Amino acid sequence: MAYDFSRYLKVRSAYGASWSPDGRRIAFLTDITGVAQVWRVSAGGGWPDQLTFYDEPVAGVSYSPVDERFVFSMDAGGNERQQLLLYEDEEVRDLTRRPDAIHYFGGWSPDGGRIALTATRRNGTDFDVYVQDLDGEPELVWEVAGYHTVADWGPDGSYLIVSRHTSNLDNDLYRLDLSTGEATLLTPHEGEARFGGVNVTPDGSAAYLTTDRDGDFLRLARLEFASLGLEYLTPDEWDVESVRLSEGGEYLLAARNVEGYSDFLFFNGRGKRLPGPAMPEGILSGFEYAPDAQRLAFTLSGPDRNPDVWLASLPDGEPARLTRSATAGIPRRTFRRPELVRYPSFDGREIPAFLYAPEGGGDAPVVVNVHGGPESQARPVFAPVTQYFLHRGYAVFAPNVRGSTGYGKEYTHLDDVELRMDSVKDLAHAAHWLRERGHERVAVMGGSYGGFMVLAALTEYPELWSAGVDIVGIANFVTFLENTGSYRRALRESEYGSLEKDREFLESVSPIHKAENITAPLLVIHGKNDPRVPVGEAEQIVERVRKTGGTVEYLLYEDEGHGLAKLKNRLDAYPKIAAFLDEHLLQNGRG
């Protein structure tokens, strides 16, 4: 049976569980209404209740540890200036009330009386640290330049663990004493290192976390606060991406990213391995222990599983699905799984990728879908757009070109600054590899940094591509860095190069200066409120391609930011993407 694109875009998801303090209910996010809102369901199952009713998507929800209140966050029109709101007695109160500033939730104090947050309230750029009594205003507790997030509270509520980020791949942890304001460095290191997933132990003497300070991968480690020594609990072979310690210290869990899939590891509170629940194959995230630590909630997704909240009894109960997100009447058996492949690039390096083949396979036209970041990874999550293309007879190829995460620190740095175009060469060799396998019609599609990769592929290797789809992509690194959010500029310059030192190089790799090379039809999509890649990037490339006689279509969405969050806009944009690709690949594809 044939299903149109709108059916796939109405496949639902549920995620981000948070337990009520009595362990009887779970709040979570779901897009049942077309945009993510807070719902609540009995931990024993049953029909959920919707609790928030906004046109804008809710970004996260967190129950108080002591009562029925919860905090959730939301921006306006995709502008990413998150505000924190309190749900209490079926009423909502805006806690932060500064729509011009970004606020990041940093967790509840152990007694439930305060929350921590970081925010750009002072100058719009620097993320200072605040603590807020729920009946008062945010109180500035650390005024400090740079980008900061709160990693955890101390168990007695007297201090915070704060993360200071100098780039996406380098940060430090500080212990911030709330009575004195003194910030103590916990993670001295040379070169770049990441420290994340912080869970302070119940006695306050240490924290479990992930770090790649002493190796190529993020490992699970225990950091002793007194000595600052690290004890590693996992080998240096795959990234540990999730860590959760139960409040009482009974259990510790971690999830490793092994070839894109999650490998679940379970320990007692002293770091000794235990059997643990037998998790289904897929990608695990959002782990939350029940208050009594006897049950575990988590989100499970996979190439043929749309995201849902699952529960497992501890220590080794059988996981079961709590929420049942609809597949819009599309049989689950029709969703296809990918093959993990590796293809050779220009220097002999093997590039990992996921190849999704439609039923019948053969020489189907291919959509090469490039992830953003670039410090990110194509993983086998459920993707309704991918499944629609497969249903239509396309193959989908998702490469993890050099610069991607998930394959070690060294691999992630292989596209830094002057090595930028090596990753584009990897993309070209993906097209060569696909053509050698009989796929003559190949399109390239990507969002954000993936949008830059689309434009770079079309300008550097125009003969390889039948069409391109650029979604919120970078066309000009100079104007991107000049106009992106001020707090983001410093974080991104370590990856791309700085305006002060590398302007000439940035100009040389910007697709805008080679737009006359674009001969494949191009579709450009952008949100007017995008704070990360401003809409001027789309306007530049569209204008330049039109001036040089190329074929370009442009879709602008007035109420979106960095991507398409609202169902009405997805229902408009993605069928147009499908029609664009059908026209240029199915009917009169090049090659």
Report how far residue 455's alpha carbon sits from residue 534's, in angstroms, rounded to the nearest whole number: 16
Write the DSSP assignment of 96-110 as a string of letters: S--TTS-EEEEEE-T
Three-class SS of residue 66?
coil
Tokens at 539, concatenated: 């306007």
Report how far residue 369's alpha carbon sits from residue 390's, in angstroms, rounded to the nearest whole number: 13
**Domain 336-587 coded CATH 3.40.50.1820:** yes
- Please enumerate in sequence order all residues whose Cβ is within 8 A of that of 374, keeping only pairs 6 or more positions apart, or say none: 401, 403, 404, 415, 423, 449, 495
Per-domain boundaries in the chain = 13-321, 336-587
Nearest residue to 222 (alpha-carbon basis) of 203, 206, 205, 237: 206
pLDDT at 461 over 60: yes
Which segments of 225-336 are extended strands (E)? 230-232, 239-245, 251-258, 261-268, 273-274, 283-289, 295-302, 305-313, 320-321
pLDDT band at 498 (very low <50, low <70, confident <90, very high): confident
* DSSP H or E segment with residue 422: helix 420-436
pLDDT at 588 over 70: no
Tokens at 354, concatenated: 């996921």
Mean residue pLDDT across the chain? 95
pTM: 0.94
pLDDT band at 491 (very low <50, low <70, confident <90, very high): confident
- Please enumerate in sequence order all residues whose Cβ is within 8 A of that of 454, keeping only pairs 6 or more positions apart, or say none: 370, 444, 445, 446, 468, 469, 470, 473
pLDDT tens sequence across 5-63: 999 999 999 999 999 999 999 999 999 999 999 999 999 999 999 999 999 999 999 99
> CATH fold of 13-321, please?
Methylamine Dehydrogenase; Chain H (2.130.10)
Neighbours of 260 (CB within 10 A): 19
pLDDT tens sequence across 52-110: 999 999 999 999 999 999 999 999 999 999 999 999 999 999 999 999 999 999 999 99
Among positive and negative, which fits the CA dihedral 558, 559, 565, 566?
Answer: negative
Contacts of the segment 30-34: beta carbons below 8 A, 24+ positions apart: 30/323, 30/325, 31/57, 31/567, 32/325, 32/326, 34/10, 34/566, 34/567, 34/568
Q: What is the pLDDT of residue 587?
A: 57
Q: What is the pLDDT of residue 591?
A: 33
DSSP state of 146: S
Q: What is the pLDDT of residue 547?
A: 96
